Each structure stands twice: as C-alpha cells, then as structure tokens.
Amino acid sequence: MPYFFLFLFLASLAAIVVGMVKPGVVIQWGAVRNRGRVLLTYGLAAFASLIFIGLTAENDTPRTQVVAAGGDVSTPVQRGATEAVEPVALPPAEVVSDPSPQQLDQPSEPTVDQAQSEQDDPAERVVNIGNEFKLGNFLYVVDKVNRTQQVGNEDSMIKRATRGASFVVVSFRITNKGNATDDMVFTDDFYLVDQRRRKFTSSTEGTFTLEMMSGGDFGLTQLQPDITKEAQTAFEVPNEVLDQGVTLVIPKKGFFGIRTVRIPLKF
C-alpha cells in the first residue's frame, strides 16, 4: 500500500514541474489555470501522499516477539487479565506556584498604525493606470496596458492572437516591501473581468513569449526587500469583449488572499 501513495507523491511532483511551465497541461478544470493553482492542487496532493505513506508504512511493519533469557517466548497480556505489579517509588513532584496576575499573558491590542492600516486597506479598491498601490507586502504600479495583435519579436519568437481576438499586454512594476526575501512571487496571477463578469486569466503562450523576449523567469521570481522588478503579462480576449471594456484585477499574493485592486480598461 505505501507504494501506491509513493507513486501519487512522485506524480504530484512531476505535475508541479510541468505546471510551472504550462499550467494548462495539468489543470484541465476551473476558470483559474495559473501556476498558483498548480502549486495549491498538486502541492496538497503531494503533502497528503507523504502522510499516507507514513501511516501505511507503520501498519505494514511486522510485529516481533519478545524472547526471554530462558528461551521462552512471551505472549502479550490479554485485555482484562490482571498481574501483580510492584509499587514503584516516584520522585517528589515539584511545587509550582500559581502565576500572579502580572505573569498571565494578556492579549495584545492592535497598535494605532495597525488599526489605521486595516481601515485604509479595504477588500476592493479601484485605481487608474499609473497609480501606486499596495497589496499585502507588495507595492505595484501598472505603467501601461496595450492592445495588440501579436507579442514578441523576430529576435525571440512571435505569437499572434487568434482570429477575432487580441492580446492585452499589461506592463507593471512590483516591489517587495516586506522584511524578508520572497521566493514564491507569481507575476501572472492578474486576470480580466468583462461586462458579463466572465474571468479571463493570463495567456500561457502570450506571457511565455513576453518573458522569452525580455529574459524573464517565467512568472515565478524572487524578490529581495525593497527591490523592484518590471514584469509583463498577456491576455487573449475576443475583440467584441474588449470593445465593451474590461477590468484588470490584481489579487493579493498568497493562496488565501481576499483583497483585490481593480483598474477599468477602455480600448
């Protein structure tokens, strides 16, 4: 049985590796098919497989018999049987005095800066192109948004949009304002929402072409504190949807981020 969960663990690791390059290959369901969903889905599967490997390995461990010095095999004591047990002297227990009221941990109250930060950070904000805004530990500026029929150039590669559609290329800057290096920064977790509230995630092929052209690191980057990096992400959207206008949505980093910033786009 442990070998089955070992196979699942290895398969999950393989899916994570493939999904870092092409999320759509290993995520065939749902509207969101980015690298964050790949890590969340197959990371949990790998973690669960490790747990079951440990549980099943313990259950499959053979029981050993205890052989006494005289060569007799001891048998386990059945439930309900009684044996004479010699009393064992226990060391005296230490006497611990009750903590004084001053020693008890008191819940810390939020500081004025924390309370002000929570009030100034609503669940959803609307900004414009060129405005600076902060989400979690990251500072963003969306510099420009272009609508084009193709991305890339002759020196790297060219990806043309499907007939009846266009690419929307979002160029932005991201700065780590936290106190530590962040090794898991996804730069392709933006998405577009149209007038019918349909969600358009980033185009894997379009974004890959942009990153090849600029020498990027394929949507996953490392950010040191107070370091700013420039990035681009591309969306492939029908022309009739773009003519009506769409909204660019930037979510807070992390699997459980609930805050978002919205930027209305008109072409």
Alpha-carbon radius of gyration of the chain: 29
Could you tell me which residue, 105 or 54, shows the higher pLDDT? 54
* The pLDDT of residue 90: 57
Q: pLDDT class for 104, splitting at 50, 70, 90?
A: very low
Q: pLDDT class for 183, splitting at 50, 70, 90?
A: confident
**Residues with Cβ within 8 Å of residue 5, at least 6 apart in sequence:** 49, 50, 52, 53, 56
Domain boundaries, the chain: 2-59, 119-265
pLDDT at 192 over 80: yes
Q: Are 202 and 191 in contact (CB under 8 A)?
A: yes
Whole-angstrom distance, CA of residue 169 vs CA of residue 233: 6
* The pLDDT of residue 226: 93
The token pair that represents 135 in the structure block: 């989400």
Q: Are 160 and 150 in contact (CB under 8 A)?
A: yes
The token pair that represents 251 in the structure block: 């979510």
pLDDT at 155 over 90: no
Comparing C-alpha atoms, which of 220, 141, 136, 142 is closest to residue 178?
136
Whole-angstrom distance, CA of residue 47 vs CA of residue 41: 10
Comparing C-alpha atoms, which of 171, 99, 179, 165 is closest to residue 137?
179
* The pLDDT of residue 200: 96
Angle formed by the axes of helices 2-21 and 35-59, nearest 10°: 170
Average pLDDT in the chain: 75
CATH of the domain spanning 119-265, picked from 2.60.120.260, 3.90.550.10, 1.10.3720.10, 2.60.40.1240: 2.60.40.1240
Whole-angstrom distance, CA of residue 192 vs CA of residue 264: 10
